[in-house]
Structure 1
């Protein structure tokens, strides 16, 4: 059933003359659009006072950080030296090659810039981003499935999919969909449900929970996901690069949850500069008041 669905999918969503729009590109657009909506709604519920300008600033910084970070992460962690020998290929975004872990680093860097520009505490922005980010992951992993990339290991399960091409003609785990459900839908539902509590949970709680859950889910899914061909298995023949990069996220997530529980910093909105009131002029002696 799932294999039949995949065989009827087209990576190209539609084309208008020379303009070709792929599902992968639409996944990014839809992911960022829904993330902005979720951030706005949660910030409003938390009564943070975030303006539309604040939201726009955050999204621009996030988009730039994710795209540049994801590409840089792929070049550094998965390129296996290829891009150092062909530096111009680094800018060939149309050929694919994006890394979640690099995108996460870029997102945090972009969030730090946005925090400075909007005067909203960094961890509050990070928490808002953590609640919304799984939606982008969901659409991104679905697009990976449509593209027939990042496939899983061979399997005899009924849901096995024949991806063809470099993946061969044997059925494989649709690991992209496993990740879409666990890294996307499950994490989003958990964090969004937690965000409903008022007053909001302490600053850092949501980003800590996101790092912990993502690290655990990604580490487990890597056991049924085919490692990148240029890297293969690492360190004794059973660890993948994805697992090596995900293990620190679990540690960071636990540390952030402990920090949030101990500090109990409240979620805060923009720290706007307020001009002090002008000093009152002293009353003149002739003034009857």
Structure 2
């Protein structure tokens, strides 16, 4: 195929306004709506899991629906604060040191999943201790619905035309407005499908077929599967420009942060099976 024909075959990026709608001077962005939708839908599914007594050890759910209603605020704060702080420390620390106001410019860099994961984990530990809830069961509930938020977040990344992939000539490659003239992998959609949709289906199957009765099993599956999916997609995703490639030009920060997650996930699976025995 000639260069001209290849250029014409590039998929057109659907230029969607990042602002969903405005209320006076207040602009509501798709990215913010994605967080809200992910958290609210995850909360709704979690409530249905807690109501199903047959899913839990001794047919006794680890917490009540009222607990989940209270926990919603805790986890939202943990995700947002952890996600932003994680992005600053893992990806943009030098820029924030040079210009501290950049720390609150969430539109300038965004959020880190690994930071949001850490923030949500801390919120779960504190909430479980305060309300005497089995910590691993709360981990399992949140892990089983977390892919919903990941799915919406990655779709929002695509809408914003950010976090695009590496240059490619695959038939579905597209040129992003901020990615130069080259066609690239729509890696945000790869992540939405792998880390979001596929993981949600798998975790629901695992949890609803006895997984919740072995405390920590769903959590271990979530952490391990996410790490594997993220490392896989990192081979197609363009690394952040301020960091680039690490260790000789192939390793990325996303891979580095996912390797400890894989180890923790495998340990959680081992611990769950050992505790069950």
Say yes or no: TM over 0.5: yes
Q: Give the one of 13, 20, 38 matched to 1:13.
A: 20
Q: Give the one of 242, 248, 251 matched to 1:236.
A: 248
Q: Which residue of the partner structure matches residue 195 of structure 1? A: 207
Q: Which residue of the partner structure matches residue 246 of structure 1? A: 258
- The answer as to whether partners of 2:62 and 2:138 remain within 8 angstroms in 1 is no
Q: Give the one of 3, 21, 28 matched to 2:11.
A: 3
- Residues 64 and 2 (structure 1), Cα distance of their counterparts in 2 relative to 1, 3 Å cut: farther
Distance 1:96 1:29 in 2: 19
- The answer as to whether partners of 1:144 and 1:150 remain within 8 angstroms in 2 is yes
Q: CA RMSD in A?
A: 1.7
Q: Does 1:98 align with 2:111?
A: yes
- Residues 156 and 110 (structure 1), Cα distance of their counterparts in 2 relative to 1, 3 Å cut: same
Q: Does 1:133 align with 2:146?
A: yes
Q: Does 1:172 align with 2:173?
A: no
- The answer as to whether partners of 2:151 and 2:191 remain within 8 angstroms in 1 is yes
Q: Give the one of 225, 229, 235 matched to 1:213.
A: 225
Looking at secondary structure, tell me which structure has more helix per residue.
2
Q: Which residue of the partner structure matches residue 77 of structure 1? A: 90
The C-alpha deviation readout for 1:187-236, integer Å capped at 9, x for no partner, is 11001011112583311101100111000010011011000000000011
- The answer as to whether partners of 1:34 and 1:135 remain within 8 angstroms in 2 is yes
Q: Which residue of the partner structure matches residue 47 of structure 2? A: 40
The C-alpha deviation readout for 1:51-106, integer Å capped at 9, x for no partner, is 34311222111111111111111111101411122223212224342100011000
Q: Which residue of the partner structure matches residue 281 of structure 1? A: none
The alignment of Structure 1 onto Structure 2 pairs a total of residues equal to: 263
The C-alpha deviation readout for 1:115-148, integer Å capped at 9, x for no partner, is 0222211111110000010000000000000000
- The answer as to whether partners of 2:147 and 2:197 remain within 8 angstroms in 1 is yes
- Residues 133 and 202 (structure 1), Cα distance of their counterparts in 2 relative to 1, 3 Å cut: same
Q: Which runs of 5+ in 1 are unaligned?
A: 266-289
Q: Which residue of the partner structure matches residue 55 of structure 1? A: 68
Q: Which residue of the partner structure matches residue 78 of structure 2? A: 65
TM-score (norm 2): 0.90
- Residues 199 and 67 (structure 1), Cα distance of their counterparts in 2 relative to 1, 3 Å cut: closer
SS in 1 for 2:213: coil
